[in-house]
C-alpha cells in the first residue's frame, strides 16, 4: 500500500524542518542555513546543516543527507509510510492511499490504535485513583515504584468486574475483539479480557499502544497474561520498552534484552534506559531484525541458568547474519534484573558493564571451581564439556583462542586440546578416555595415525619431526617393521609399551592438521637454533637471516588450507637437509 504522491509532497511542504530537527539537535542560524552537532554520529564541531527553504539536510562529517521524511526515518527508525504518517499527524494532514483496500486497512488499524490508547489511559487512571486499586498500588510500592515510575510507564489496573472496560469505552464488537481488549461471551455480550491485574501497556517502536501484559496479584491463574496477537500486534516483532529506550540505545550503541516488563523498568531505574523485553516469547529472528537497526551490541540480561541454556547455534547465526555482537550479563543464579535493581542496583550495573561474549560466559560457568590441583580425570571431563561448546562456534579463529584459554585454566597442552576439537557439528572425543592426555602432543597423535591410518601419514613422516627420544624410538620401530606386531617386538621396552597403548586408541584428529602441527613444532625448534647461530656468527648473520625469513613464511602457510600440504613438504625437506648437514 502507498500514500498518494500529492499527499507526500504536501507533508514535505507543510513540515517546519527547523522546528522538527530542533527537537533532536540544537540548531543555530548561520546566514541562511541552520547548523548544529550531527545527530547521526559523535562530533565536537558542528557539521550538520539544514536548508529550511528546500527542506534538506546534509552532514559534512558523516555525509548523512536527505529531506524531512528521511530525517524522521533515520532518527525514529521508521519505515517510509510510518514516517510520512508521523509527520502528517503533526501537521494535521489527512492522508489518502492509492487503493481502496489499503485505505480501508489503514483506517481499521487507526481505529484499533485509538481504542488501545483509550484503554491505556483508562487503566492508568484507574490505578492512580480508584479505591479498588489499593492492592495494586501497595504491590507497586513494594517493588519500589513511586508515582513517577507509574506515570512514566503508564502502568494501570484492570478491575475485577466482568465488563467494566467494555462498558466505559463502548467499543464496537469487532474493535473490542480485534484489539484483544475483550470478547463476546456465550450470551453475545461484551466481556473484558483482563480482570484483577496490574497492567503494563506495550507500545510499538513508534510509540503506538498495541497490547498489554497483565500481572495477577492473587495467585489465581498464570502470573502474567499477555494480549493475543492482533492486526496491530505481533509478539515476535514487538519489544516492550523500545519506544522509550531507542534514543539511549542508539547513543550507547547497545541494547539490553530482558525477559519481563519489570526487568526493563528496573534497568531504567538504575540508570540504564536502553533495555527492552520480549513479550511472553523467546528471542526470535524477527527481534534481531528490529534490533540491528538500533545497535550492534546486544546484552542478554537473563537469569544465569536461562542464558547458559540458550541455543548457541541460533545466537552465532544471528551474529553473522545481522553483524551484531551478543554478550551475556553475569546475573546471580536465580536473580532477574527487576529483583536485582531493588536489592542490589550496583551489582546490576556491574553485571551489565562486564557482560561477556556468549561463548566466554558459557565457558566460565563450565570452568568455575576447577583448577590445576584437581585430578586429571576431573579436568579432562571439564575440558571435554568446554570443547563441545567451543566446537559449536563457526569461526576457527575464535575456537582456537578459547581452546588456548581452556588449556591454560586446566593445565593441558593447547596442541592436545586442538587435536580433540572437531569441526563444527561433529562430536568431541572425550579427553578422559586418553591416558596422560595432558602430556600428549602432535608427536603422539602422529604415531597413533601411523598405526591406524598409515596410508595417510607414512610417506610424510621423518625422523627429524620427532624431538622426544621415546617417540623417536617408537617411530623408528614402525618405520623399520613390516607390521605392528613386528614393530612392538623389535622396539625397546618403553617404545613397545607406547605402541601397545596407542594400538588400542582411536585417532581423533585430521591427518593434515597433525602433520602441519608436527612440522610447525619441529620448525620452531630449528628456528631457535638458527637464531642462536646468527647471534654467534656475524659473518653468517645475513645468510641465516635470509633463511630464517623463508622458513617463517613457509611456516605461516602451514595454517592456510590450500597451502598446508605443500608448505609441510617443503619444510620437511629443509629439515632433512639441515639434519644431514649436521650429521
- State residue 35 phi and psi, 5-degree precision: -130, 155
Instruction: Indicate if the pLDDT at residue 415 is higher than 80.
Output: no
Strands 33-36 and 28-30, bridge-based pairing = antiparallel
The residues, any chain, with a CB within 8 Å of residue 8's CB and separated by 6 or more, are 69, 84
Question: What's residue 432's pLDDT?
Answer: 43
> What is the tens place of the pLDDT at every residue in 52-110?
878 899 988 888 888 999 998 888 777 888 889 889 988 888 888 776 555 677 778 88
Question: What's residue 450's pLDDT?
Answer: 92
Question: What's residue 526's pLDDT?
Answer: 85
Residue listed under C-alpha cell 527487576: 338
Question: What's residue 253's pLDDT?
Answer: 87
Outline which parts of the chain fall under CATH 3.40.1360.10.
237-364
Question: What's residue 76's pLDDT?
Answer: 78
Instruction: Indicate if the pLDDT at residue 290 is higher than 50.
Output: yes
Q: Largest alpha-carbon pair distance within the chain?
A: 106
Does residue 567 contact residue 554 with C-beta atoms inside 8 Å? yes
Instruction: Indicate if the pLDDT at residue 538 is higher than 80.
Output: no
Question: What's residue 127's pLDDT?
Answer: 97
> What is the tens place of the pLDDT at every residue in 1-46?
578 888 898 898 888 899 888 888 888 888 878 999 888 887 778 8
Question: What's residue 45's pLDDT?
Answer: 84
542 vs 65, more confident: 65
Q: Which value, to the nearest 10 degrees, does the dihedral of the CA atoms of residues 274, 276, 282, 285 take?
A: -70
> What is the tens place of the pLDDT at every residue in 431-461?
544 444 334 689 998 999 999 888 888 889 9
- Residue 444, C-alpha cell as written in the block: 603422539
Q: How many residues does the chain have?
A: 583
Q: Could you tell me what percent of the chain has a pLDDT over 70?
A: 92
Task: Report, as an integer, the average pLDDT of 303-322.
Answer: 73
Beta bridge partners of 555: none
Identify the weakest region by mean pLDDT among 183-187, 205-209, 219-223: 219-223
Question: What's residue 202's pLDDT?
Answer: 97
- Would you place residue 123 in the very low, low, confident or very high pLDDT band (cuts 50, 70, 90)? very high
Q: Alpha carbon of 449 to those of 163, 467, 468: distances in Å?
A: 77, 18, 17
Question: How many Cβ atoms are within 10 Å of 212's Cβ, its own excluded?
Answer: 27
> What is the tens place of the pLDDT at every residue in 314-356?
888 888 888 889 999 988 877 889 999 999 999 999 999 999 9
Question: How many Cβ atoms are within 10 Å of 116's Cβ, its own excluded?
Answer: 26
The residues, any chain, with a CB within 8 Å of residue 381's CB and separated by 6 or more, are 430, 431, 432
Please give the sequence-ordered ranges of beta strands (E in DSSP) within 63-187, or none if there are none. 65-67, 156-158, 182-184
Q: Span 237-364: which CATH code?
A: 3.40.1360.10
Question: What's residue 351's pLDDT?
Answer: 94
- Would you place residue 311 in the very low, low, confident or very high pLDDT band (cuts 50, 70, 90)? low
Identify the weakest region by mean pLDDT among 65-79, 361-375, 466-480: 361-375
Instruction: Indicate if the pLDDT at residue 137 is higher than 50.
Output: yes
134 vs 89, more confident: 134
Question: What's residue 160's pLDDT?
Answer: 92
Outline which parts of the chain fall under CATH 3.90.580.10.
5-91
How is domain 112-233 classified at the CATH fold level? DNA primase DNAg catalytic core, N-terminal domain (3.90.980)
Task: Report, as an integer, the average pLDDT of 247-273.
Answer: 93
Instruction: Identify the helix (H) or strand (E) that includes residue 154.
Output: none
Outline which parts of the chain fall under CATH 3.90.980.10.
112-233
Instruction: Indicate if the pLDDT at residue 273 is higher than 90.
Output: yes
Question: What's residue 438's pLDDT?
Answer: 38
Q: Span 5-91: which CATH code?
A: 3.90.580.10
Amino acid at each position: 500500500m502507498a500514500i498518494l504522491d500529492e499527499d507526500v509532497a504536501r507533508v514535505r511542504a507543510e513540515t517546519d524542518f527547523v522546528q522538527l530537527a530542533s527537537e533532536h539537535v540544537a540548531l543555530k542560524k548561520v546566514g541562511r542555513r541552520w547548523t548544529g552537532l550531527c545527530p547521526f554520529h559523535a562530533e565536537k564541531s558542528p557539521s550538520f546543516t539544514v536548508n529550511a527553504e528546500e527542506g534538506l539536510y546534509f552532514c559534512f562529517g558523516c555525509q548523512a543527507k536527505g529531506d524531512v521524511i528521511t530525517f524522521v526515518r533515520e532518527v525514529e527508525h521508521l519505515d517510509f509510510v510510518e514516517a510520512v504518517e508521523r509527520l502528517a499527524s503533526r501537521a494535521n494532514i489527512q492522508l489518502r492511499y492509492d487503493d481502496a483496500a489499503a485505505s480501508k486497512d489503514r483506517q481499521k488499524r487507526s481505529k484499533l490504535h485509538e481504542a488501545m490508547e483509550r484503554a491505556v489511559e483508562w487503566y492508568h487512571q484507574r490505578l492512580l485513583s480508584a479505591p479498588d486499586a489499593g492492592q495494586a498500588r501497595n504491590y507497586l510500592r513494594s517493588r519500589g515504584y513511586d508515582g513517577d515510575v507509574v506515570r512514566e510507564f503508564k502502568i494501570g489496573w484492570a478491575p475485577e468486574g466482568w465488563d467494566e472496560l467494555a462498558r466505559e469505552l463502548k467499543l464496537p464488537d469487532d474493535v473490542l475483539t480485534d484489539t484483544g481488549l475483550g470478547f463476546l461471551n456465550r450470551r453475545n455480550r461484551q466481556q473484558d479480557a483482563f480482570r484483577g491485574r496490574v497492567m503494563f501497556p506495550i507500545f510499538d517502536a513508534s510509540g503506538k499502544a498495541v497490547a498489554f501484559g497483565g500481572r495477577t496479584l492473587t495467585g489465581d491463574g498464570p502470573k502474567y497474561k499477555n494480549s493475543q496477537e492482533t492486526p496491530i500486534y505481533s509478539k515476535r516483532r514487538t519489544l516492550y520498552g523500545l519506544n522509550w529506550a531507542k534514543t539511549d540505545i542508539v547513543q550507547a550503541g547497545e541494547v539490553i534484552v530482558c525477559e519481563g516488563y519489570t526487568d526493563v523498568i528496573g534497568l531504567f531505574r538504575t540508570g540504564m534506559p536502553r533495555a527492552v523485553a520480549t513479550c511472553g516469547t523467546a528471542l526470535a529472528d524477527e527481534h534481531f531484525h528490529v534490533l540491528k537497526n538500533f545497535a550492534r551490541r546486544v546484552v542478554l540480561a537473563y537469569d544465569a541458568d536461562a542464558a547458559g541454556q540458550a541455543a548457541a547455534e541460533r545466537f552465532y547465526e544471528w551474529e553473522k547474519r545481522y553483524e551484531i555482537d551478543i554478550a551475556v550479563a553475569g546475573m546471580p543464579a536465580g536473580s532477574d534484573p527487576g529483583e536485582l535493581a531493588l536489592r542490589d542496583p550496583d551489582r546490576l550495573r556491574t553485571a551489565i558493564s562486564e557482560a561477556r561474549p556468549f561463548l566466554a560466559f558459557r565457558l566460565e560457568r563450565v570452568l568455575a571451581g576447577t583448577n590445576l590441583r584437581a585430578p586429571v580425570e576431573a579436568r579432562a571431563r571439564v575440558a571435554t564439556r568446554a570443547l563441545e561448546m567451543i566446537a559449536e562456534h563457526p569461526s576457527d579463529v575464535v575456537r582456537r583462542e578459547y581452546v588456548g584459554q581452556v588449556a591454560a585454566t586446566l593445565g593441558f597442552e593447547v596442541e592436545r586440546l586442538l587435536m580433540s576439537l572437531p569441526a563444527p557439528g561433529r562430536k568431541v572425543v572425550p579427553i578422559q578416555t586418553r591416558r596422560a592426555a595432558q602430556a600428549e602432543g602432535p608427536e603422539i597423535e602422529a604415531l597413533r595415525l601411523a598405526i591406524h591410518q598409515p596410508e595417510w601419514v607414512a610417506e610424510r613422516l621423518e625422523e627429524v619431526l620427532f624431538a622426544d627420544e621415546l617417540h623417536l624410538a617408537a617411530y623408528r620401530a614402525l618405520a623399520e617393521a613390516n607390521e605392528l606386531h613386528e614393530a612392538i617386538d623389535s622396539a625397546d621396552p618403553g617404545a613397545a609399551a607406547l605402541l601397545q597403548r596407542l594400538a588400542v586408541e582411536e585417532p581423533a584428529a585430521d591427518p593434515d592438521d597433525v602433520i602441519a602441527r608436527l612440522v610447525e613444532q619441529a620448525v620452531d625448534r630449528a628456528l631457535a637454533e638458527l637464531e642462536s647461530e646468527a647471534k654467534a656468527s656475524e659473518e653468517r648473520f645475513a645468510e641465516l637471516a635470509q633463511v630464517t625469513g623463508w622458513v617463517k613464511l613457509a611456516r605461516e602457510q602451514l595454517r592456510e588450507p590450500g597451502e598446508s600440504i605443500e608448505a609441510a613438504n617443503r619444510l620437511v625437506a629443509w629439515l632433512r637437509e639441515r639434519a644431514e648437514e649436521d650429521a
